[in-house]
Amino acid sequence: MGINEIIENKIKYEMGQLYNYLNEIENTYISPQLTGKNLVKFYNLNGTYQYGHWRCVCPFHHGASNKTEFIFNDDAKSFICFACKTSGTYLKFISLMQGYSLNALNEAKIFAAIHFTNLNLGFNSINDYKEKIRQEVMQRYKATKSLNIKDYYDISILPCQSIPSENTELKKQVNVSKYEEKANKPHIELPSRKDIKLNTYAQAIEGAKHSILLHEILQNKEQFNSIDKLQDFMQKKYSLSGDILEKYELMYFDGKSQNKLTKPNFYGLNDRIIFPIKDHDSGIVAGFHCRHVLYKKKESKSKQWGKYSNILDYGELKTKENGYQYYSIKPLSIGQFLFNLYEIKENKLSKLWITEGIADCLKLITLGYINAVSPCQSNLTDEQINLLKHYFGCNTEILLFFDNDNNRVGQLNSIQIAYKLWNNGFRKIKVVRTFPGQGKDL
């Protein structure tokens, strides 16, 4: 493996870490600072406050002059222009104002963290983040000449501790040719990742307790669960029997049941297998991990659905260009939980299997390997590693069994995860792979 390939793999992994971090700080630190007032002031919009909302002349269509047709809704953190029908979240507003096209949402999160929350991230864009990683790897390479990728696993430029900075003059460099605003206000203390995750977990549990969607689905399982379709799909796709499906309370939400929901213009559960994710502490259902049964990779972009989704509740009310309104998804912070941890946390075990997906975890259980958990993704977050340490200790042997896809994402990540586990005190770690020709799953 050459240094360029090492850099490429390192950047690919660190991008996943960046996205996790941005998701962690979004609700706690970014969202509270994104208000109609702050957006109007920052972008120097021709606005006014009327009837409980900040309103302004639409910045997106030519000839706009009406101060009241463009509305910021702080409760929903969304905007809409009733003339040109442009609408979306506050982060989408930032991405449009900044002209982002590639990875617009995450670029907007970075921009908002720096300019509205005043967090000192140490990078100002995704490209800047990638370049700084590349520089760190190259600096290490020049010093060591090592071509062993393990020697670069510890490199990270994500914030990891509080960095207070006072009386810093900030320059808001947005469309500098048009205006430049200076402000003498301090950076807030950069939150440690540990504090963020504690807040994220607490918010996830509170969100689950007050989730309208979770409550109505769990209280009306017989009404929403298509048992025959569930058993047929899980048997053909994963060779899982009805007993294991019943034990873990899996459901199949048929799209025809959508009109029975409290908010029938919600499409987030349609034609999906629902895997309830239990909180490791209390055992309550913290959210749903869902698998789309009609997913086809070639159609995913055009159909605008993903294979997997993590759902906590109904999201914001959004409006399409044709005026049709629908509810988005309020996501579950899946990185705070491990599937099947609540069920086995009291077990005295010497070995623990960790699978990428829930289906493989369930298959191991049916084969008698009951001490298995799944992070529901091709990654293992710091919080999930802390859960392993807390419940099972570092003397437990860890067997990492991730998908053997053609793109090797699961297997590459399993090596990175093994390194993270080692750094957290685990010493008995094995990466398990299927033989070539046996498929990517168990």
Q: What is the pLDDT of residue 162?
A: 35
Instruction: Give the least confident one: 128-142, 296-310, 318-332, 367-381.
Output: 296-310
* CA dist., res. 23 & res. 425, Å (int): 27
Q: What is the pLDDT of residue 416?
A: 83
Q: What is the pLDDT of residue 409?
A: 55
pLDDT category at 405 given cuts 50, 70, 90 is low
Q: What is the pLDDT of residue 51?
A: 87
pLDDT at 442 > cutoff 80: no
pLDDT at 10 > cutoff 70: yes
For residue 414, give the nearest of 379, 440, 389, 366 by alpha carbon. 379
Q: What is the pLDDT of residue 441?
A: 54
pLDDT category at 160 given cuts 50, 70, 90 is low
Sorted by where each begins, the domain ranges of the chain are 3-191, 197-333, 341-432
Q: What is the pLDDT of residue 199?
A: 75
**Domains 3-191 and 341-432 alike in fold:** no
Residues 6+ apart with CB under 8 A from 265: 325, 326, 327
Residues 6+ apart with CB under 8 A from 218: 276, 285
pLDDT category at 436 given cuts 50, 70, 90 is low
Instruction: Give the least confident one: 175-189, 240-254, 263-277, 333-347.
Output: 175-189
Looking at the domain that runs over 197-333, which CATH code has it been given? 3.90.980
* Mean pLDDT over each residue of the chain, to the nearest integer: 85
pLDDT at 42 > cutoff 80: yes
Residues forming a β-bridge with 218? none
Share of the chain above pLDDT 70, in %: 85
pLDDT category at 377 given cuts 50, 70, 90 is confident
pLDDT category at 102 given cuts 50, 70, 90 is confident
Looking at the domain that runs over 341-432, which CATH code has it been given? 3.40.1360.10
pLDDT at 350 > cutoff 90: yes
* CA dist., res. 69 & res. 85, Å (int): 10
For residue 27, give the nearest of 351, 315, 379 by alpha carbon. 315
Share of the chain above pLDDT 90, in %: 61
User: Across residues 65-83, what is the average pLDDT?
Assistant: 92
The structural architecture, per CATH, of the domain 3-191 is Alpha-Beta Complex (3.90)
pLDDT category at 305 given cuts 50, 70, 90 is low
User: Across residues 119-126, what is the average pLDDT?
Assistant: 90
Instruction: Give the least confident one: 186-195, 275-284, 404-413.
Output: 186-195
Q: What is the pLDDT of residue 191?
A: 52
Q: Which is higher by pLDDT, 201 or 372?
A: 372
pLDDT at 253 > cutoff 70: yes
- In tens, the pLDDT along 189-234 reads 455 555 555 578 888 999 999 999 999 999 999 999 999 999 999 9
pLDDT category at 163 given cuts 50, 70, 90 is very low
